Amino acid sequence: MEIEKQENKIVIKHNFDFDIEEILNSGQVFSYYKTSDNSYVVISGDKFADIIFSATQTTIKTDYVDFFYNYFDLDMDYKKIQREILKLQPDFGKFFFGGNSIRILNQEPVQTIISFIVSANNNIKRIKNFLTNMSERFGEKLSCGYYSFPNLSQLKNATLEDFNELKAGYRGAYLVDTIQKLDSEEFNIQTLQKLSTKDLKTKLITLRGIGPKVAECILLFSFKRSDVFPVDTWIRKSFSLFSNETKNDLQIEQYFLDIFKEYSGFAQQYLYNYMLHKNY
Protein backbone atom coordinates (compact mmCIF):
# COMPACT_ATOMS: atom_id res chain seq x y z
CA MET A 1 0.00 0.00 0.00
CA GLU A 2 1.33 3.41 -1.03
CA ILE A 3 -0.05 6.52 0.70
CA GLU A 4 0.27 10.11 -0.48
CA LYS A 5 -0.86 13.04 1.67
CA GLN A 6 -1.75 16.07 -0.42
CA GLU A 7 -3.27 19.44 0.48
CA ASN A 8 -6.91 18.39 0.36
CA LYS A 9 -6.77 14.64 -0.06
CA ILE A 10 -5.14 11.34 0.82
CA VAL A 11 -4.43 8.97 -2.06
CA ILE A 12 -4.01 5.28 -1.28
CA LYS A 13 -2.56 3.29 -4.19
CA HIS A 14 -2.28 -0.48 -4.57
CA ASN A 15 -4.98 -0.64 -1.94
CA PHE A 16 -5.52 -4.39 -1.72
CA ASP A 17 -5.12 -3.95 2.04
CA PHE A 18 -7.42 -0.92 2.30
CA ASP A 19 -11.01 -1.70 1.34
CA ILE A 20 -13.21 1.19 2.44
CA GLU A 21 -16.40 -0.84 2.07
CA GLU A 22 -15.08 -3.59 4.32
CA ILE A 23 -13.83 -1.07 6.88
CA LEU A 24 -17.08 0.89 7.05
CA ASN A 25 -19.22 -2.25 7.19
CA SER A 26 -17.21 -3.91 9.96
CA GLY A 27 -19.49 -2.74 12.77
CA GLN A 28 -17.14 -0.04 14.03
CA VAL A 29 -18.88 3.06 12.74
CA PHE A 30 -22.39 4.16 11.72
CA SER A 31 -22.14 7.80 10.58
CA TYR A 32 -21.41 7.28 6.91
CA TYR A 33 -23.38 7.40 3.68
CA LYS A 34 -22.94 5.58 0.40
CA THR A 35 -23.30 8.26 -2.27
CA SER A 36 -22.68 6.13 -5.40
CA ASP A 37 -21.43 2.69 -6.36
CA ASN A 38 -17.87 3.78 -5.68
CA SER A 39 -18.07 6.57 -3.11
CA TYR A 40 -18.93 7.32 0.51
CA VAL A 41 -19.16 10.32 2.82
CA VAL A 42 -17.87 9.72 6.35
CA ILE A 43 -18.88 12.09 9.18
CA SER A 44 -16.87 12.52 12.37
CA GLY A 45 -18.21 15.34 14.53
CA ASP A 46 -18.17 18.46 12.36
CA LYS A 47 -15.60 16.99 9.95
CA PHE A 48 -16.27 14.96 6.83
CA ALA A 49 -14.46 13.19 4.03
CA ASP A 50 -15.58 12.21 0.53
CA ILE A 51 -14.14 8.81 -0.33
CA ILE A 52 -13.88 7.57 -3.91
CA PHE A 53 -12.54 4.09 -4.57
CA SER A 54 -11.65 1.69 -7.34
CA ALA A 55 -9.97 -1.70 -7.47
CA THR A 56 -6.52 -0.11 -7.33
CA GLN A 57 -6.87 3.27 -5.62
CA THR A 58 -8.80 5.06 -2.88
CA THR A 59 -8.96 8.85 -2.66
CA ILE A 60 -10.02 10.50 0.60
CA LYS A 61 -10.98 14.08 -0.25
CA THR A 62 -11.19 16.31 2.80
CA ASP A 63 -10.20 19.64 4.31
CA TYR A 64 -9.04 17.67 7.36
CA VAL A 65 -6.24 15.58 5.93
CA ASP A 66 -4.32 15.00 9.17
CA PHE A 67 -7.51 14.21 11.07
CA PHE A 68 -8.64 11.52 8.62
CA TYR A 69 -5.13 10.16 8.20
CA ASN A 70 -5.28 9.38 11.92
CA TYR A 71 -8.97 8.38 11.77
CA PHE A 72 -8.17 5.60 9.31
CA ASP A 73 -5.07 4.58 11.30
CA LEU A 74 -2.84 5.01 8.26
CA ASP A 75 0.35 5.24 10.33
CA MET A 76 -0.18 1.73 11.69
CA ASP A 77 1.68 -1.18 10.07
CA TYR A 78 -0.99 -3.87 9.87
CA LYS A 79 1.34 -6.34 8.17
CA LYS A 80 3.52 -6.21 11.28
CA ILE A 81 0.45 -6.74 13.47
CA GLN A 82 -0.48 -9.80 11.44
CA ARG A 83 3.04 -11.18 11.89
CA GLU A 84 2.84 -10.63 15.65
CA ILE A 85 -0.55 -12.36 15.81
CA LEU A 86 0.87 -15.35 13.94
CA LYS A 87 3.71 -15.61 16.46
CA LEU A 88 1.11 -15.91 19.20
CA GLN A 89 -1.23 -18.22 17.25
CA PRO A 90 0.46 -19.80 14.19
CA ASP A 91 -2.81 -21.30 12.89
CA PHE A 92 -4.58 -17.94 12.81
CA GLY A 93 -3.56 -17.14 9.23
CA LYS A 94 -6.80 -18.38 7.66
CA PHE A 95 -8.74 -15.78 9.66
CA PHE A 96 -7.05 -13.01 7.71
CA PHE A 97 -9.38 -14.17 4.90
CA GLY A 98 -10.48 -11.08 3.03
CA GLY A 99 -9.39 -9.08 6.05
CA ASN A 100 -6.12 -7.59 4.88
CA SER A 101 -8.07 -4.36 4.53
CA ILE A 102 -9.35 -4.23 8.11
CA ARG A 103 -8.23 -1.17 10.05
CA ILE A 104 -9.37 -0.10 13.49
CA LEU A 105 -10.73 3.43 13.26
CA ASN A 106 -9.68 6.12 15.71
CA GLN A 107 -13.06 7.65 16.45
CA GLU A 108 -14.08 10.56 18.68
CA PRO A 109 -15.11 9.14 22.10
CA VAL A 110 -18.41 10.99 22.69
CA GLN A 111 -19.70 10.11 19.22
CA THR A 112 -18.65 6.50 19.73
CA ILE A 113 -20.23 6.22 23.18
CA ILE A 114 -23.56 7.58 21.95
CA SER A 115 -23.47 5.47 18.78
CA PHE A 116 -22.79 2.24 20.63
CA ILE A 117 -25.49 2.86 23.23
CA VAL A 118 -27.87 3.12 20.29
CA SER A 119 -26.34 0.00 18.69
CA ALA A 120 -27.05 -2.40 21.57
CA ASN A 121 -29.66 -5.00 20.54
CA ASN A 122 -30.35 -3.04 17.38
CA ASN A 123 -29.84 -3.48 13.64
CA ILE A 124 -27.63 -1.42 11.35
CA LYS A 125 -30.45 0.23 9.42
CA ARG A 126 -32.21 1.44 12.57
CA ILE A 127 -28.95 2.58 14.17
CA LYS A 128 -27.97 4.63 11.12
CA ASN A 129 -31.46 6.10 10.73
CA PHE A 130 -31.62 7.19 14.34
CA LEU A 131 -28.15 8.76 14.29
CA THR A 132 -28.95 10.54 11.01
CA ASN A 133 -32.19 11.93 12.45
CA MET A 134 -30.44 12.97 15.66
CA SER A 135 -27.75 14.75 13.65
CA GLU A 136 -30.38 16.58 11.60
CA ARG A 137 -32.16 17.64 14.80
CA PHE A 138 -29.15 18.77 16.82
CA GLY A 139 -26.19 19.05 14.44
CA GLU A 140 -25.31 21.58 11.76
CA LYS A 141 -25.60 21.18 8.00
CA LEU A 142 -22.22 20.63 6.37
CA SER A 143 -21.13 21.63 2.87
CA CYS A 144 -21.37 17.97 1.82
CA GLY A 145 -25.14 18.16 2.37
CA TYR A 146 -25.19 15.95 5.45
CA TYR A 147 -25.22 17.02 9.09
CA SER A 148 -22.49 17.05 11.70
CA PHE A 149 -22.67 14.58 14.56
CA PRO A 150 -23.78 16.86 17.42
CA ASN A 151 -21.33 17.64 20.22
CA LEU A 152 -22.13 17.75 23.93
CA SER A 153 -22.95 21.45 23.84
CA GLN A 154 -25.58 20.75 21.20
CA LEU A 155 -26.93 17.67 22.98
CA LYS A 156 -26.88 18.60 26.67
CA ASN A 157 -30.33 20.21 26.57
CA ALA A 158 -31.91 17.32 24.67
CA THR A 159 -34.87 15.89 26.57
CA LEU A 160 -36.44 12.46 26.78
CA GLU A 161 -39.29 13.85 24.68
CA ASP A 162 -36.78 14.80 21.97
CA PHE A 163 -35.42 11.27 21.86
CA ASN A 164 -38.92 9.78 21.97
CA GLU A 165 -39.79 11.83 18.88
CA LEU A 166 -36.68 10.40 17.23
CA LYS A 167 -37.92 6.89 18.17
CA ALA A 168 -35.06 6.03 20.51
CA GLY A 169 -37.34 3.77 22.56
CA TYR A 170 -35.97 2.70 25.92
CA ARG A 171 -32.53 3.97 24.86
CA GLY A 172 -33.79 7.55 25.13
CA ALA A 173 -33.48 7.53 28.92
CA TYR A 174 -29.98 6.07 28.60
CA LEU A 175 -28.96 8.84 26.21
CA VAL A 176 -30.30 11.68 28.37
CA ASP A 177 -28.53 10.32 31.46
CA THR A 178 -25.27 9.55 29.63
CA ILE A 179 -25.10 12.92 27.88
CA GLN A 180 -25.46 14.70 31.22
CA LYS A 181 -22.68 12.60 32.72
CA LEU A 182 -20.39 13.09 29.74
CA ASP A 183 -20.89 16.82 30.13
CA SER A 184 -19.58 16.67 33.71
CA GLU A 185 -16.00 16.83 34.96
CA GLU A 186 -16.30 13.25 36.22
CA PHE A 187 -16.25 12.02 32.61
CA ASN A 188 -13.77 14.47 31.17
CA ILE A 189 -12.40 12.67 28.09
CA GLN A 190 -8.80 13.76 28.72
CA THR A 191 -9.00 12.35 32.25
CA LEU A 192 -10.55 9.10 31.01
CA GLN A 193 -7.74 8.68 28.47
CA LYS A 194 -5.25 8.40 31.34
CA LEU A 195 -7.01 5.47 33.01
CA SER A 196 -5.87 1.87 32.60
CA THR A 197 -7.97 -0.27 30.28
CA LYS A 198 -9.49 -2.10 33.26
CA ASP A 199 -10.37 1.10 35.13
CA LEU A 200 -11.70 2.79 32.00
CA LYS A 201 -13.93 -0.19 31.23
CA THR A 202 -15.27 -0.09 34.81
CA LYS A 203 -15.96 3.63 34.41
CA LEU A 204 -17.75 3.21 31.08
CA ILE A 205 -20.00 0.49 32.47
CA THR A 206 -21.36 2.99 35.02
CA LEU A 207 -23.03 4.79 32.09
CA ARG A 208 -26.58 3.61 31.45
CA GLY A 209 -26.91 1.40 28.40
CA ILE A 210 -23.27 0.28 28.42
CA GLY A 211 -22.47 -3.31 29.30
CA PRO A 212 -19.16 -5.19 29.00
CA LYS A 213 -19.35 -5.81 25.24
CA VAL A 214 -20.34 -2.24 24.35
CA ALA A 215 -17.68 -0.88 26.73
CA GLU A 216 -15.01 -2.95 24.98
CA CYS A 217 -16.15 -1.75 21.55
CA ILE A 218 -15.81 1.83 22.78
CA LEU A 219 -12.37 1.06 24.24
CA LEU A 220 -11.22 -0.47 20.97
CA PHE A 221 -12.72 1.97 18.49
CA SER A 222 -12.18 5.29 20.24
CA PHE A 223 -9.66 4.91 23.08
CA LYS A 224 -7.06 2.90 21.11
CA ARG A 225 -7.12 0.04 23.61
CA SER A 226 -6.23 -3.14 21.74
CA ASP A 227 -6.00 -5.27 24.90
CA VAL A 228 -9.73 -6.05 24.74
CA PHE A 229 -11.74 -8.72 22.92
CA PRO A 230 -15.44 -7.81 22.52
CA VAL A 231 -17.62 -10.92 22.45
CA ASP A 232 -20.77 -10.92 20.32
CA THR A 233 -22.77 -13.54 18.44
CA TRP A 234 -20.09 -14.02 15.75
CA ILE A 235 -17.28 -14.38 18.28
CA ARG A 236 -19.32 -16.89 20.28
CA LYS A 237 -19.79 -18.93 17.10
CA SER A 238 -16.10 -18.66 16.27
CA PHE A 239 -15.07 -20.12 19.62
CA SER A 240 -16.04 -23.61 18.43
CA LEU A 241 -13.22 -23.32 15.87
CA PHE A 242 -10.73 -23.07 18.74
CA SER A 243 -12.20 -25.25 21.49
CA ASN A 244 -14.86 -27.90 22.15
CA GLU A 245 -15.49 -26.49 25.61
CA THR A 246 -18.61 -24.57 26.56
CA LYS A 247 -17.76 -21.16 27.99
CA ASN A 248 -19.64 -17.98 28.84
CA ASP A 249 -18.78 -14.61 27.30
CA LEU A 250 -16.35 -13.64 30.06
CA GLN A 251 -14.50 -16.95 29.72
CA ILE A 252 -14.39 -16.67 25.94
CA GLU A 253 -12.99 -13.17 26.23
CA GLN A 254 -10.32 -14.29 28.69
CA TYR A 255 -9.42 -17.27 26.49
CA PHE A 256 -8.59 -14.97 23.58
CA LEU A 257 -6.94 -12.31 25.77
CA ASP A 258 -4.59 -14.99 27.13
CA ILE A 259 -3.55 -15.85 23.57
CA PHE A 260 -3.39 -12.47 21.83
CA LYS A 261 -2.55 -10.11 24.70
CA GLU A 262 -1.99 -6.54 23.44
CA TYR A 263 -3.01 -7.61 19.92
CA SER A 264 -6.40 -8.93 21.06
CA GLY A 265 -8.47 -6.13 19.54
CA PHE A 266 -6.86 -6.60 16.13
CA ALA A 267 -7.35 -10.38 16.29
CA GLN A 268 -10.98 -9.85 17.26
CA GLN A 269 -11.60 -7.72 14.18
CA TYR A 270 -9.99 -10.26 11.86
CA LEU A 271 -11.99 -13.07 13.44
CA TYR A 272 -15.25 -11.07 13.37
CA ASN A 273 -14.71 -10.21 9.70
CA TYR A 274 -13.95 -13.84 8.84
CA MET A 275 -17.10 -15.11 10.53
CA LEU A 276 -19.24 -12.37 8.99
CA HIS A 277 -18.09 -13.16 5.46
CA LYS A 278 -18.06 -16.92 5.89
CA ASN A 279 -21.62 -16.62 7.33
CA TYR A 280 -21.31 -19.46 9.81
Claim to verify: residue 161 and residue 217 sit in the same structural domain: yes
Each residue's pLDDT tens digit, 188-197: 999 999 999 9
Judged against a pLDDT cut of 70, whether residue 223 lies above it is answered with: yes
- Give the domain extent around 93: 79-104+228-278
pTM beyond 0.85: yes
Judged against a pLDDT cut of 80, whether residue 278 lies above it is answered with: no
Claim to verify: residue 258 and residue 212 sit in the same structural domain: no
Q: Quick one: which of 16, 66, 19, 24 has its CA closest to 41?
A: 24
Claim to verify: residue 120 and residue 183 sit in the same structural domain: yes
Q: How far apart are CA 168 and CA 127, in angstroms?
A: 9
Q: Which residues pair with 34 in a beta bridge?
A: 40
Q: Quick check: 19 and 57 in contact, CB under 8 A?
A: no
Mean pLDDT of the region 122-147 = 96
Mean pLDDT of the region 215-238 = 96
Judged against a pLDDT cut of 70, whether residue 260 lies above it is answered with: yes
Claim to verify: residue 93 and residue 232 sit in the same structural domain: yes
Q: How confident is the model at residue 277 (pLDDT cuts 50, 70, 90)?
A: confident
pLDDT of 271 reads 93
Q: How confident is the model at residue 219 (pLDDT cuts 50, 70, 90)?
A: very high
* Domain end among 75, 94, 117: 75
Each residue's pLDDT tens digit, 196-207: 999 999 999 999
* Domain end among 176, 199, 222: 222
Side-chain half-sphere of 255: how many Cα atoms within 13 Å?
A: 18
Claim to verify: residue 132 and residue 48 sit in the same structural domain: no
pLDDT of 98 reads 61
Claim to verify: residue 48 and residue 90 sit in the same structural domain: no
Q: What percent of the chain shows pLDDT beyond 70?
A: 98
Claim to verify: residue 209 and residue 126 sit in the same structural domain: yes
- CATH of residue 22's domain is 3.30.310.260
Each residue's pLDDT tens digit, 74-92: 999 999 999 999 999 999 9
Claim to verify: residue 217 and residue 113 sit in the same structural domain: yes
Claim to verify: residue 119 and residue 145 sit in the same structural domain: yes
Q: What percent of the chain shows pLDDT beyond 90?
A: 89
Task: Please give the tally of structural domains in the chain.
Answer: 3
pLDDT of 279 reads 57
pLDDT of 206 reads 96
Each residue's pLDDT tens digit, 140-169: 999 999 999 999 999 999 999 999 999 999
- CATH of residue 210's domain is 1.10.340.30
Each residue's pLDDT tens digit, 22-53: 899 889 999 999 999 999 999 999 999 999 99
Which whole-number Å values give the CA distances from 256 to 42, 145, 189, 223, 264, in the listed order?
Answer: 32, 43, 28, 20, 7
Claim to verify: residue 45 and residue 131 sit in the same structural domain: no
Long-range contact pairs involving 67-71 (C-beta distance under 8 Å, separation at least 24): 68/10, 68/42, 68/44, 69/5, 69/10, 70/106, 71/42, 71/44, 71/105, 71/106, 71/107
pLDDT of 102 reads 85
Claim to verify: residue 132 and residue 207 sit in the same structural domain: yes
Mean pLDDT of the chain: 94
Claim to verify: residue 155 and residue 205 sit in the same structural domain: yes
pLDDT of 60 reads 98
Mean pLDDT of the region 66-79 = 96
Rounded to the nearest angstrom, the gap between the alpha carbon of residue 129 and the centroid of all alpha carbons in its chain is: 17
